Amino acid sequence: MKPESPILLFDSGVGGLSILPAVREALPGAPLIYAADFAGLPYGGKTEAEIAARVCGLLGRLSERYQPRLICIACNTASTIALSMVRDVLETPIVGTVPAIKPAAKLTRTGTFGILGTEATIRQAYVDDLEREHAGGKTMLRHAAPDLVMLAEAKLRDEHISVDAVANACTGLSLQQGGRDIDVVVLACTHFPLLRGELQEAFGKDVTLIDGAQGIARRIAALSDGQKFASGRPDRMVMTGGATLPKPLVETLKTYGLDQIDRI
Task: Catalogue the active-site residues.
Answer: 75, 189
Note whether 261 and 253 are within 8 A (CB).
yes
Neighbours of 132 (CB within 10 A): 10
Report d(CA 250, CA 257) in Å as an integer. Answer: 11
Neighbours of 60 (CB within 10 A): 13
Note whether 188 and 117 are within 8 A (CB).
yes
Q: Which residues contact 60 (CB under 8 A, 6 or more apart)?
A: 89, 90
Q: Are strands 7-11 and 260-263 parallel, antiparallel or unpaired?
A: unpaired
Distance linking the first and last C-alpha atoms of the chain: 24
Residue 64 CA to its chain's centroid (Å): 23
